[in-house]
Structure 1
Amino acid sequence: MFFIVLAAVAGATTWWQRGAGVFGDTLQQALGLLLWISPVLVGALLVSAYVQRLVPRATMEHWLGGRSGLRGLTVATIAGAMTPGGPFTAFPLVVGLHRAGASTEVCVAYLTAWSVLGLNRVLVWELPFLGVDFVALRLLVSLPLPFLAGFATRLIIRWVRP
């Protein structure tokens, strides 16, 4: 509700300060973005829901649960690095994984890998602009980050909930 109210206030302010033409153009751009993002978001939400139903909880807990340790962090890091798209794809998937039995530390490692190691972004943006040497070095120093984030999450959870 907060964002709906914020959007209404921003729209009214745009209309008042810039006029109906600018308001209409802005609304048209926003609706175009919504139409572009909606199929991806709907697909990610469906995958999230299907993961919860298709993967048995025992299997999810074995591979990505609280006792999966380094195995779970490794799987999450690989999956996060391979997940294409923006937050509208990654976050629904993490919600689905978490609800299906993946531990919080695994979900943090997944999101960290998605944001730091995203192979899709590396191939499309980084390599053409920055070159192989720079990208290889960046990936090398970034590779431990999902594991560190996962281990740190585990320590914080143990500290907060003894």
Structure 2
Amino acid sequence: MSSSAPPASPPPSPQKAGKSRSLVDGSTLFVLTLVLVGAFFVWRRDGWGGVWHVLAEDSWLFVDILPKVLAGCLIGAFVTVLLPREMVTRWVGGESGLTGLVIATAIGAVLPGGPFTIYPLAGAFLTIGAGIGPVVAFVTSWTLIGLNRAIIWEVPFLGFDFVTTRMLISLPMPILAGLGARALARFVAGSLKT
């Protein structure tokens, strides 16, 4: 007599784990409004030829950026499936305290890549249980400290002494930003409940 275990349920999809996203939200409408206003002013100044020129030039930029954006979004999607939610919540969740902020700061400082990688990863971390404070610390650390960028670009142009000074001054900023974001998120959540 063989006992068969019930089949394991598949992990929840990223869309089910977090909030469902609308294709067109407020930020998209805002950016589209800016595009239309810009197009209107170019049309007023240069006519339809000016508008078509901008569209033709930007379509090459779009073709160049699209694979990078797609790769970054796929990295974020894979992270949501591969990293256990419990581990993320324990190490960098909303209740992870100062330890979570330090871990997120360290990850942001050493993680290479551009905004096409970092922002999808930050979104993925939020989706799978990271707290707002650690995610703010992660993005701030990548922006301010970024060891990869410092080694490749800053040291050759600005020198080791300058980069060391800049990084030491920047070091507490991600932690402070994370603490501020955590406090602000709690304040906003508390004011919405009342």
CA positional deviation for 1:85:
4.0
TM-score (normalised: structure 2): 0.73
1:50 to 29, 54, 78: 78
Q: Is the 8 A contact 2:92 2:100 kept in 1?
A: yes
Aligned partner of 1:81 in structure 2 is 109
Which structure 1 residue ranges, 5 or more long, are not aligned? none
Structure ID, larger Rg: 2
Answering whether residue 114 of structure 2 is matched by residue 99 of structure 1, we say no
- In the alignment, which of 56, 61, 78 is matched to residue 89 of structure 2? 61
Letter in 2 for 1:94: A
Fraction of identical pairs, as percent: 41
User: Which of 120, 145, 153 matches 2:173?
Assistant: 145
Closer, same or farther: CA 46–119 of 1 in aligned 2, 3 Å: same
More helix by share: 1
> What are the superposed Cα offsets for residues 71-117 of structure 1, whole Å, 9 maximum, x if unpaired?
32222112212333443332221111001000111011011101111
Larger deviation: 131-140 or 119-128?
Answer: 119-128
Structure 2 unaligned residues grouped into runs of 5+: 1-28
CA–CA separation in structure 1 for the residues paired with 2:95 and 2:112: 27
Q: Does 1:120 align with 2:144?
A: no
Please, what TM-score do these two structures have when normalized by structure 1?
0.86
Query: How many pairs does the alignment contain?
Result: 162
Closer, same or farther in 2 for the Cα pair 1:2/1:158, shift >3 Å? closer
Which shifted more, 84-93 or 40-49?
84-93
**Cα RMSD after superposing both structures:** 2.1
Code of the residue aligned with 1:146 in structure 2: it is P
